[in-house]
């Protein structure tokens, strides 16, 4: 008689073979995969481990071309189940042909039962021998032998519940993902797939709702009145009973009544003893929350570590909804085992010194016991056996939780003082830990107690200090992974086994990320959730998924037929899809616009600012016919502005247009342009925006001299346009300094000739003794006559006229005329006055 058993993984198969074969096991290969052979109870046994699911659902080939198939069609198509791991399928059939009976020994939950049925389906293609089921919750010798000595009938309903979930998830995920992705691609250039999932999307929705609350939060001022009180045995703080006072005048009024107070009174003292019970036994959700909160491990990693600890025989099966132990659970033997481990010995001995009574929860899902250690082990043994970082920490958490669950409650003494200062009530509270109880072994929950000095009723206290402190209300905190798991569990999003996967999927899609213990939504996730929330909120919220989960549970419980559940679930999905189609325009406009905005924000060179018409992004747009400033909200928003036809454009981020132009651009090296207004040299506010940097007082009028620079010449001119000009060195880098001449008060210049390292500071004023020294020293090469009036045919005259009239020379006028001709397409802004330059060559 040959018995063939299929476990879920190779490691479990090896453990089962080792236990049943008492260590006398031969390993062999079947279709290139490992299997184990041994004898047990006079029969030949062959055990093989699978690799999770070896079959999967998908749509027929003709439906897999996105561009050719209407996504909504998928909701009416029955998916087909395909073999995805052909080598495993061949191995199953190979062994099945040799079997007189088959035992399914996969993990006992929906997915495990479904994986077992995949093996059963393939085996039945080549044989019709009896098939039974071995159920166990731990890979301990006692559990494994009991399960194989008493095999049960495979649970068809449990397997079909997993089947229903796979089909409904595929239909919704494929149809919705294709619809949203293809719709957005019609309006925005993106290769990204915008993934929508029946559990993935509501999970992201929880993070989005918290982020939205944080972003919309408006801080409010409040005042808090506190006092420092001194008793014989020490000082402590008390708070006015009004708490956070949002009315400034009210806080000031109370504080005024307290002015000058030197003494307070203990009106009443209340001392109350309270007990904190141990935590309930660990189910999967609670384990994942505590691993995240206390160890900083992500749910997916925590579940993987727990799975490996289970396969190695250290802990029980990690996927369970049960949080209460069975009445016949053998606590004593397990605690005796822990009494032999030095890290746990004192706690185990304390437990054994009294009757063992566990603190149980209320849920018995009749699947597996709570997660608990199978045997005591030292950290070194755990690390050597399970080669995963933090395996020892996870085991320690499970072991300490198990032992804490069997220990007495922690006892606290809580003291509350009712104080009075000038008839105003104050309160102060403190806590003292009297008996650590279960907290002694559970360092994760230890709280820092606020201790109060001993005082008696009617005792007078010294008031050391009184404060009226202004603060601001704080926004909601970001979700932690533990809080996210709690929300998912509360709303029925996913199962104990799949919840970590949905969190990890959102991370892989780039929808949110974890930083430390908190979850932060990313731009793509916020954009997608915002679009869905505004148009098809039913997709983001958990209600529909909860209904689908309820249908799946009814299949598992045998209350609903598989086909009926599929029909009802598909009807719910079609209801959501109809809303998606009805709101396609709004949804895609919202998402596509944000995608364009993000791309425009990253393009720093062409980014202009925010469109006042629609709130999207303004950017420089280049076309074959010209350039202009356009909005990423196009075509819904047609706000635009022209730009000058020629000249390199540089956005001056530090400049702000006083006429509310969207931005100020530098055009070449010639002038400035305000987007939506035009060239700055034509604006009546130019001098206010770009006041010239003056050198000193004009010798001829009450104006000031400033440097005017053109491409081929430079000189000093008067701000009052009196006609007085002053020569400057014709060559070299000329820099206006903040230092002034002690003789005349003009600002000094610094000159550096090309190719020379020497620099000198000097005064240029020809009517100043220091300036005359400089001009005499430089000699004829820089000599140029100062003149009060400049004739019409002199070189300096027209230049000065141009500067005084905002660069209106023929050349400048040509530049301005070109600037005024908008590029084909839209509306525009302008340039700045060259005379404002501080230095020139």
In order, the DSSP letters of 592-651 are HHHHHHHHHHH-TTTEEEE-TTTSSEEEEEEETTEEEEEETTTTT---EEE--SSS-EEE
Residue 771 has a pLDDT of 87
163-193, pLDDT tens digit by residue? Answer: 999 999 999 999 999 998 888 877 766 667 7
Inter-residue contact 665 to 628 (CB < 8 Å): no
Element (H, E) at 403: helix 391-404
| DSSP one-letter code for 562 | H
Residues 6+ apart with CB under 8 A from 674: 657, 659, 661, 663, 664, 665, 680, 683, 829, 830
Q: How confident is the model at residue 824 (pLDDT cuts 50, 70, 90)?
A: very low
Distance CA 745, CA 527 (A): 60
Angle at 515 between CA 509 and CA 520, to 5 degrees: 55
Residue 797 has a pLDDT of 37
How confident is the model over 410-432, as a mean pLDDT? Answer: 93
Distance CA 133, CA 155 (A): 8
The 10 Å CB-count burial string (b at 16+, else e) for 260-294 is: eeeebebeebeeeeeeeebbbbbbbbbbbbbbbbb
Residue 608 has a pLDDT of 78
340-358, pLDDT tens digit by residue? Answer: 999 999 999 999 999 999 9
Q: Say how many C-beta atoms besides its own lie within 10 A of residue 572's C-beta.
A: 19
> DSSP readout, 155-212?
-HHHHHHHHHHHHHHHHHHHHHHHHHHHHHHTTS---------TTHHHHHHHHHHHHH
Residue 819 has a pLDDT of 38
Flag whether pLDDT at 596 surpasses 70.
no
Distance CA 304, CA 559 (A): 33
Q: Which phi and psi angles does 58 have, rounded to 5°?
A: -160, 165
Pairwise pLDDT comparison (398 vs 691), residue with the higher score: 398
Output the six-digit token pair for 435.
């008996």
Q: Is the dihedral of CA 512, 515, 516, 519 positive or negative?
A: negative
Residue 190 has a pLDDT of 67
Residue 595 has a pLDDT of 60
Residue 779 has a pLDDT of 65
How confident is the model over 151-167, as a mean pLDDT? Answer: 95
Residue 184 has a pLDDT of 80
Pairwise pLDDT comparison (555 vs 795), residue with the higher score: 555
Task: Among 30-39, 612-621, 624-633, 831-840, name the one with the lowest average pLDDT.
Answer: 831-840
Q: How confident is the model at residue 669 (pLDDT cuts 50, 70, 90)?
A: confident
Residues 6+ apart with CB under 8 A from 68: none
Flag whether pLDDT at 796 surpasses 60.
no
258-267, pLDDT tens digit by residue? Answer: 988 999 999 9
Distance CA 207, CA 521 (A): 6
Residue 603 has a pLDDT of 66
Task: Among 408-412, 450-454, 672-676, 777-781, name the one with the lowest average pLDDT.
Answer: 777-781
Flag whether pLDDT at 807 surpasses 60.
no
For 462, the 3-state DSSP assignment is strand
Residue 827 has a pLDDT of 29
Return the bridge partners of 48, or none.
6, 35
Residues 6+ apart with CB under 8 A from 353: none
Residue 76 has a pLDDT of 92
Flag whether pLDDT at 4 surpasses 80.
yes
Longest dimension (CA), the chain: 125
Inter-residue contact 7 to 48 (CB < 8 Å): yes
Residue 189 has a pLDDT of 67
Q: Which phi and psi angles does 82 have, rounded to 5°?
A: -115, 150
396-408, pLDDT tens digit by residue? Answer: 999 999 999 999 9
Flag whether pLDDT at 680 surpasses 60.
yes
Inter-residue contact 537 to 582 (CB < 8 Å): no
Closest CA to 581 of 171, 67, 72, 63: 72
Q: How confident is the model at residue 594 (pLDDT cuts 50, 70, 90)?
A: low
For 315, the 3-state DSSP assignment is strand
Residue 145 has a pLDDT of 95
Residue 405 has a pLDDT of 96
Element (H, E) at 381: helix 379-385
Flag whether pLDDT at 777 surpasses 90.
no
How confident is the model over 642-665, as a mean pLDDT? Answer: 85
Residues 6+ apart with CB under 8 A from 770: 741, 742, 743, 744, 762, 763
Output the six-digit token pair for 103.
């035992």
How confident is the model over 475-491, as a mean pLDDT? Answer: 91
Closest CA to 169 of 524, 478, 552, 543: 552
Inter-residue contact 377 to 297 (CB < 8 Å): no
Closest CA to 575 of 544, 596, 549: 544
Flag whether pLDDT at 805 surpasses 80.
no
723-774, pLDDT tens digit by residue? Answer: 889 888 888 888 888 899 988 899 999 888 877 777 778 898 988 988 888 8
The number of angstroms, rounded, from the C-alpha of 324 to the middle of its chain's C-alpha atoms is 35
Inter-residue contact 119 to 151 (CB < 8 Å): no
Q: Is the pTM of this model over 0.75?
A: no
Inter-residue contact 4 to 104 (CB < 8 Å): no
> DSSP readout, 35-74?
EEEEEETTEEEEEEE--S-SEEEE--GGG--GGGS-GGGG
Residue 612 has a pLDDT of 82
Inter-residue contact 371 to 306 (CB < 8 Å): yes
Flag whether pLDDT at 830 surpasses 80.
no
Output the six-digit token pair for 7.
């476990």
Most confident among 3-7, 191-195, 692-696, 706-710 (mean pLDDT): 3-7
Distance CA 102, CA 9 (A): 17
Mean per-residue pLDDT over the chain, rounded: 85
How confident is the model over 214-220, as a mean pLDDT? Answer: 93
Residue 281 has a pLDDT of 96
80-114, pLDDT tens digit by residue? Answer: 999 999 999 999 999 999 999 999 999 998 899 99
Distance CA 358, CA 403 (A): 9
Q: Say how many C-beta atoms besides its own lie within 10 A of residue 752's C-beta.
A: 16
The 10 Å CB-count burial string (b at 16+, else e) for 168-204 is: bbbbbbbbbbbbbbbbbbebbebeeebbbbbbbbbbb
Residue 684 has a pLDDT of 81
Residue 835 has a pLDDT of 34
Q: How confident is the model at residue 782 (pLDDT cuts 50, 70, 90)?
A: very low
Q: Which residue has the tokens 């049925």?
A: 117
Residues 6+ apart with CB under 8 A from 460: 263, 264, 265, 266
> DSSP readout, 404-456?
HTTSPPEEEEEEEEEEEETTEEEEEEEEEEEE-GGGGT-GGG-----------
Three-state SS string over 350-376 comes to: HHHCCCCCCCCCCCCCCCCCCECECCC
Residue 785 has a pLDDT of 37
Residue 593 has a pLDDT of 62
């Amino acid at each position: 008689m040959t018995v063939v058993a299929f476990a879920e993984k190779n490691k479990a198969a090896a453990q089962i073979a080792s236990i049943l074969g008492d260590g006398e096991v031969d390993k062999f290969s079947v279709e290139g995969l490992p299997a184990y052979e041994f004898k047990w109870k006079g029969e030949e046994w062959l055990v093989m481990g699978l690799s999770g699911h070896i079959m999967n659902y998908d749509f027929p080939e003709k439906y897999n071309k996105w561009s050719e198939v209407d996504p909504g069609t998928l909701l009416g198509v029955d998916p087909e189940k395909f073999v995805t791991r052909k080598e495993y399928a061949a191995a199953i059939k190979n062994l099945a042909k040799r079997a007189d009976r088959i035992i399914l020994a996969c993990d006992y939950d929906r997915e495990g039962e479904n994986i077992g049925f995949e093996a059963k389906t393939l085996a039945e293609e080549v044989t019709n021998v009896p098939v039974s089921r071995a159920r166990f919750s731990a890979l301990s010798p006692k559990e494994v032998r009991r399960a194989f000595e008493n095999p049960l009938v495979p649970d068809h309903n449990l397997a079909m519940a997993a089947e229903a979930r796979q089909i409904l998830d595929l239909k919704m995920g494929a149809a919705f993902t294709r619809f949203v992705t293809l719709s957005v691609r019609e309006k925005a250039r993106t290769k990204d797939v915008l993934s929508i999932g029946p559990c993935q999307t509501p999970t992201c929705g929880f993070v989005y709702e918290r982020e939205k609350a944080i972003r919309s939060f408006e801080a409010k001022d409040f005042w808090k009145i506190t006092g420092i009180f001194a008793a014989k045995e020490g000082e402590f703080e008390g708070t006015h009973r009004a708490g956070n006072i949002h009315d400034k005048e009210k806080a000031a009024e109370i504080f005024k009544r307290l002015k000058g107070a030197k003494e307070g009174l203990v009106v009443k003292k209340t001392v109350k003893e309270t007990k904190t019970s141990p935590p309930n036994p660990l189910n999967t959700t609670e384990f994942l929350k505590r691993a995240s909160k206390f160890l900083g491990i992500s749910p997916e990693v925590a579940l993987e570590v727990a799975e490996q600890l289970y396969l190695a025989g250290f802990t029980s099966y990690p996927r369970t909804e049960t949080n209460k132990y069975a009445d016949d659970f053998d606590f004593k033997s397990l605690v005796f085992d822990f009494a032999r481990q030095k890290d746990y010995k004192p706690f185990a001995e304390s437990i054994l010194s009294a009757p063992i009574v566990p603190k149980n929860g209320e849920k018995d899902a009749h699947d597996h016991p709570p997660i608990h250690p199978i045997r005591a082990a030292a950290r070194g043994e755990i690390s050597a056996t399970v080669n995963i970082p933090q395996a020892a920490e996870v085991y320690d958490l499970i072991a300490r939780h198990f032992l804490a669950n069997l220990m007495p409650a922690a006892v606290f003494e809580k003291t509350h003082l009712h104080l009075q200062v000038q008839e105003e009530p104050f309160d102060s509270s403190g806590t003292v830990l009297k008996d650590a109880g279960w907290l002694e072994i559970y360092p994760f929950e230890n709280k820092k107690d606020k201790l109060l000095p001993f005082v008696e009723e009617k005792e007078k206290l010294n008031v050391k200090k009184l404060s009226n402190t202004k603060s601001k209300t704080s926004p909601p905190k970001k979700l932690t992974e533990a809080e996210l798991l709690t929300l998912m569990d509360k709303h029925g999003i996913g199962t104990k086994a799949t919840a970590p996967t949905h969190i990890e999927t959102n991370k892989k899609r780039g929808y949110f990320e974890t930083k430390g213990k908190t979850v932060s939504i990313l731009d793509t996730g916020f954009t997608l959730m915002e679009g869905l929330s505004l148009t098809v909120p039913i997709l983001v919220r958990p209600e529909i998924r909860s209904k689908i989960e309820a249908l799946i549970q009814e299949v598992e419980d045998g209350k609903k037929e598989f086909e009926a559940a599929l029909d009802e679930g598909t009807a719910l999905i079609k209801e959501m899809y109809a809303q998606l189609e009805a709101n396609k325009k709004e949804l895609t406009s919202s998402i596509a616009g944000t995608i364009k905005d993000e791309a425009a924000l990253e393009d720093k060179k062409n980014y202009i600012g925010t469109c006042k018409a629609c709130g999207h992004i303004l950017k420089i747009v280049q076309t074959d016919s010209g350039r202009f400033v356009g909005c990423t909200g196009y075509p819904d928003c047609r706000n635009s502005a022209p730009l000058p036809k020629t000249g390199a454009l540089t956005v001056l981020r530090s400049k702000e247009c006083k006429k509310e132009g969207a931005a100020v651009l530098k055009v070449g090296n010639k002038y400035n342009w305000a987007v939506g207004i035009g060239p700055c040299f034509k604006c009546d506010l130019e001098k206010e925006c770009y006041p010239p940097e003056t050198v000193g007082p004009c010798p001829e009028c009450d104006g000031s001299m400033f440097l005017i620079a053109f491409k081929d010449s430079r000189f000093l001119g008067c701000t009052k346009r009196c006609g007085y000009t002053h020569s400057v060195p014709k060559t070299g880098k000329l820099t206006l300094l903040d230092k002034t001449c002690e003789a005349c008060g003009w600002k000094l210049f610094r000159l550096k000739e090309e190719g020379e390292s020497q620099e000198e500071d000097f005064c240029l004023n020809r009517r100043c003794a220091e300036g005359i020294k400089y001009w005499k020293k430089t000699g004829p090469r820089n000599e140029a006559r100062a003149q009060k009036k400049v004739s019409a045919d002199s070189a300096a005259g027209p230049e000065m006229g141009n500067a005084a009239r905002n660069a209106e020379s023929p050349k400048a006028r040509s530049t301005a005329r070109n600037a005024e001709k908008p590029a084909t397409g839209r509306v525009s802004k302008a340039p700045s006055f060259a005379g404002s330059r501080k230095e020139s060559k």
